[in-house]
Amino acid sequence: MKWLYIYGVDGLSVSGGGTIDGMGQQWWASTCKRKKTQPCYSGPRPKAVHFEECRGVSVQGVTLQNAQQFQLTFTRCSCVKASFLRVIAPADSPNTDGIHLNDTSHVHITDNLISTGDDCVSMVGNCSDVHVKDISCGPGHGISIGSLGKNRTTDMVENVRVDTCLLTNTTNGVRIKSWQGGMGFARDLRFENILMKNVSNPIIVDQYYCDQPTPCANQTQAVEVRKVEFANIRGTSATAQAISIACSDTVPCRELELANVNLTLAEGGGRATALCYRASGKSVGTVVPPSCLAKS
């Protein structure tokens, strides 16, 4: 389930322009996410360009488009650069994440235009020391940490910075998502200097994530979310609830910070709302809609 597959290679650079076209249209058409009648295909699809167990690799100045599934992925890699890329797929193409990290550290994702049918940038597993900067994202599902903790797994994500991004017409803005029953943590995360334009869920933390056809069972264990900052985030929300922070009863979110946030409704510019559940922290400067965080 890998199309262009680079394994165990150090010091490789992919550059020089050109287009890598996954031609995923036939794959998308047969998936159960798009095809509502049987027979449909629910199995895996190839990752278009996949690096695994590589060090000191860079991908820059190329176009990746219409992947069968994820467009550019890194698994168990370190010292990664992905910059000056155009990553493109239709808004309704299923699971065509732009850049996806799994168990990868020391990453710089910068100066990219990403327009896909899923997350523009996503990271799962054990990712650390990730810097995402100067990204234009949309359409798509925004910039996501997670999902974490599926099937009671232990996932750890820390030291992530998402800085100076434009999100336009995305279904989410900046998001942390985890399944009930998981273990580990998502901590030391900072989202800053982000402009939202008509984004459906601009700021979202969801420890009750459930992406399956049947309801997920309630479980007490959860991935810990701690030390997360949302700073200098402004723009418009396509939905009434611009901030949604839903945390675990037994493992609440702690040390969250909302600093200089200004999110209004896209239609009419009216007041948006904020919802917090089992979340504590502080607000700094002007926060619109008013912060709902409990004081630490």
User: For residue 143, which of 174, 118, 106, 117 has the smallest C-alpha distance?
Assistant: 174
Residue 214 inside a domain? The answer is yes
Instruction: Name every residue whose Cβ is closer than 8 Å to that of residue 39 and which is 6 or more positions away in sequence.
Output: none
Show the tokens assigned to 128: 């650390």
Q: What angle do CA 22, 142, 189 make, to 5 degrees?
A: 120
141 is catalytic: yes
Average pLDDT over residues 215-238: 96
User: CA-to-CA distance for 64 and 134, rounded, in angstroms?
Assistant: 18
Same domain, 172 and 196: yes
* pLDDT averaged over every residue in the chain: 96
What are the phi and psi torsion angles at 26 (to 5°)? Answer: -70, -35
Same domain, 100 and 134: no
Tell me which amino acid residue 247 is. C
Same domain, 245 and 151: yes
Same domain, 69 and 180: no
Same domain, 101 and 144: no
Q: Is 147 left (phi over 0), alpha (psi -120 to 50) or beta?
A: beta
CATH of residue 124: 2.160.20.10
Average pLDDT over residues 244-266: 97
Same domain, 29 and 151: no
Same domain, 150 and 269: yes
Q: Residue 263's beta-bridge partner residues? A: 235
Would the pLDDT of 141 be above 80?
yes
pLDDT digits (tens, 9 = 90+) for 59-98: 999 999 999 999 999 999 999 999 999 999 999 999 999 9
Residue 195 inside a domain? The answer is yes
Domain that holds residue 52: 1-34+45-82+90-106
Same domain, 62 and 144: no
Residue 12 inside a domain? The answer is yes
Given 106, 108, 131, 141, which residue is catalytic?
141
Residue 60 inside a domain? The answer is yes
The total number of structural domains in the chain stands at 2
User: For residue 278, which of 219, 217, 228, 206 has the smallest C-alpha distance?
Assistant: 206
Q: What is the pTM of this model?
A: 0.96
pLDDT value for 35: 87
Would the pLDDT of 278 be above 80?
yes
Residue 64 inside a domain? The answer is yes
Average pLDDT over residues 133-146: 98
* Sheet with 241-246: strands ordered across: 2-7, 47-52, 72-75, 99-102, 121-124, 143-148, 174-178, 203-206, 241-246, 273-277
Same domain, 193 and 265: yes
Same domain, 198 and 230: yes
Same domain, 123 and 250: yes
Residue 39 inside a domain? The answer is no
pLDDT digits (tens, 9 = 90+) for 172-223: 999 999 999 999 999 999 999 999 999 999 999 999 999 988 999 999 999 9
User: CA-to-CA distance for 132 and 111, rounded, in angstroms?
Assistant: 9
Distances from the Cα of 272 to the Cαs of 37, 116, 255, in angstroms? 38, 27, 23
Same domain, 283 and 140: yes
